[in-house]
Amino acid sequence: MAGGFAGVEAGGGRAEQYEGRITPYFILACIVGSFGGSLFGYDLGVSSGVTSMDDFLIKFFPDVYNRKHAHLHETDYCKYDNQVLTLFTSSLYFAGLVSTFGASYVTKRHGRRGSIMVGAVSFFLGGAVNAAAVNVAMLIVGRVLLGVGIGFGNQAVPLYLSEIAPFRIRGAVNQLFQLTTCLGILVANVINYFTDRIHPWGWRLSLGLAVVPATAIFVGALFLPETPNSLVERGRLEEARRVLEKVRGTHKVDAEFEDLKVASEAARAVRGTFRNLLAVRNRPQLIIGALGIPAFQQLSGMNSILFYSPVIFQSLGFGSSAALYSSIITGSMLVVGALVSMVVVDRLGRRVLFMEAGAQMIASMVVVATILALKFGHGEELSKGVSTVLVVAICLFVVAYGWSWGPLGWLVPSELFPLEMRSAGQSVVVCVNLFWTAAVAQCFLAAMCHLRWGVFILFAALIVVMSVFVVLLLPETKQVPIEEIWLLFDKHWYWKRVVTKDPKYQGHHHRQEMAAAAAGAVKPVVTSE
């Protein structure tokens, strides 16, 4: 079983010397910064509802509208299987996938705050274009602009929150991103419920209201402090110390500030940050943070439910309004899960939440698949009792995801990368995440049509693989300072065998030790096994 080292002792540094308190300035920075998640959440929620609205389908996808009404009072796996309709959803994520590499440059050279502002502007433009759309081409252009906004926001916000937070509550602070994402989904679901009754332009209001969170984020970002980590990385040391003192509420920040400078000195010694991700000594960060967790977050099947919950419920025989109402329930469960996670993540740790939720999600998917296999697909409405069990099972799945893979899928990768590759690493995280988001969005309705209830068994099997991955390979990172997490892999039962094979491993650790010694920071770290 994988080993982890919680608490300040894990780092082997001087985290116990860090001082500070929760200040109003810090709270403001967290609120404004985390609000970037609302962009992602609002789009997830609003696109799922709009694609089930009759007025929207009549204007852009009349074939889907006709097929839907041919089976209006029947259960039918295939009534929404249309690749152009799913392209409306997935095009945003393909655009975000590409834009995240531009976001990496902006985040590294101009700061996390700059990327958040660029994302807000692009999201504003995308919402305006979608609201004014008169054809599918305009819809896709608007979605691409929204995707660029999400690419920048998702790249910068988790980094911002992880860097500005005290290490003891880093997990809860980072999960503000997931909380605002969930709130964005819930707000969008509520808006869709009411705009569905406004004919024939209610869908325009749903899509156009995306400009509201975008405007709020841009204005808030004007007053947002840059993270001390980013300022040190760019050589603005005096400003970095002033911000750190203001955020921590004390002038006694010598220990934390020196650690930031040590990490920055190590970062400057590294060239080719994207290429450096492939180095053997960084294999744990690559496998766990950049590839594994962001891919598994989407392969859990959660975003399929978020994208298409109204469509799924309508396919199961629910009416249009009932489907939108059911999506409000699932959105509420997601918010509940995020709040639970914020409370317990820095107490119980990341691994416990991953494992408990994995068992709950597997059981929920098996229940859904079993009911559908026995009761669904015969051209008849599901009974009220069976429909209730389905909604409950889906809600249990959603709430488990809400306290595990949802928030931790962003928190854990943002913790793992050392400063020299943090921006590049987060870009790969977002790229992989959005690739699988787009792939699942594009394929899910077709998979539901062809695999039928088997698609939920597929998701259950993938969650088994995800859970084993976490148990074996992820060390516990709770309450470990972000600049010391790389030391966990030296102690891990498996990764220590990998990182020590890198011919540059000793030199890398020697530079870390010398930089620390020059700053009077820590005792040399023993690197040999």
What is the 3 state secondary structure string of 361-372? HHHHHHHHHHHH
CA distance 80 to 65: 9
**357 with 426: CB under 8 angstroms?**
no
pLDDT string in tens for the chain (529-residue length): 333 323 333 334 566 778 778 888 888 888 888 887 888 888 877 887 787 788 988 888 888 777 767 655 545 556 555 666 677 777 887 888 888 888 888 888 888 888 999 999 999 999 999 999 999 889 999 999 999 998 898 888 888 888 888 878 888 888 888 888 888 888 888 898 889 889 899 999 999 999 998 998 899 888 888 889 889 888 899 999 999 888 888 888 888 888 888 877 776 666 556 778 888 888 999 999 999 999 999 888 886 676 556 656 665 556 556 666 777 788 888 889 989 998 899 889 999 999 999 999 999 999 888 887 887 655 556 677 777 788 888 889 999 999 999 889 888 988 888 877 777 888 888 889 888 887 887 777 677 777 778 888 999 999 999 999 999 999 998 888 877 888 889 889 999 888 887 776 555 555 455 444 544 444 434 333 3
- Domain residue spans of the chain: 21-224+270-491
Q: What is the pLDDT of residue 466?
A: 95
Q: What is the pLDDT of residue 146?
A: 92
Q: What is the pLDDT of residue 11?
A: 38
What's the DSSP call for residue 382?
P
What is the residue type of 282?
A: N
CA distance 356 to 150: 30
**34 with 178: CB under 8 angstroms?**
no
Residue 477: phi and psi, rounded to 5, are -110, 5
CA distance 203 to 47: 10
**146 with 140: CB under 8 angstroms?**
no
Listed in sequence order, the residues at least 6 apart from 286 whose beta carbon sits closer than 8 Å to its beta carbon are 277, 278
Closest to 80 in 3D by CA, of 306, 310, 397, 300? 310
Distances (CA, A) of 440 to 73, 301, 312, 429: 27, 8, 14, 17
Listed in sequence order, the residues at least 6 apart from 245 whose beta carbon sits closer than 8 Å to its beta carbon are 251, 253
Residue by residue, DSSP assigns 458-523 as: HHHHHHHHHHHHHHHHPPP-TT--GGGGGGHHHHSTTHHHHHTTSTTHHHHHHHHHHHHHHTT--P
Separation of first and last alpha carbons in the chain: 19
CA distance 461 to 471: 16
Right CATH number for 21-224+270-491 from 1.20.1250.20, 1.20.1730.10, 1.10.3720.10, 3.90.420.10? 1.20.1250.20
Closest to 398 in 3D by CA, of 343, 335, 333? 333
Closest to 15 in 3D by CA, of 232, 256, 258? 256
Counted residue by residue, the chain has a size of 529
Q: What is the pLDDT of residue 287?
A: 94
Which alpha helices (H) appear in 202-292, and where do they start and end?
A: 202-208, 211-221, 228-233, 237-248, 254-268, 273-276, 283-284
Residue 87: phi and psi, rounded to 5, are -65, -30
**500 with 246: CB under 8 angstroms?**
no
Distances (CA, A) of 300 to 397, 458, 477: 10, 9, 22
Q: How many Cα atoms occupy the beta-carbon half-sphere of 436 within 13 Å?
A: 19
| The pair of three-digit structure tokens given for residue 316, joined into one six-digit string | 């199961």
**211 with 127: CB under 8 angstroms?**
yes
Closest to 326 in 3D by CA, of 336, 335, 313, 317? 313
Q: In angstroms, what is the C-alpha Rg of the chain?
A: 23
**382 with 75: CB under 8 angstroms?**
yes
CA distance 220 to 33: 8
Query: pTM value?
Result: 0.73
Closest to 163 in 3D by CA, of 88, 229, 207? 229
CA distance 460 to 304: 13
Quick count: other Cβ atoms within 10 Å of Cβ 343?
12
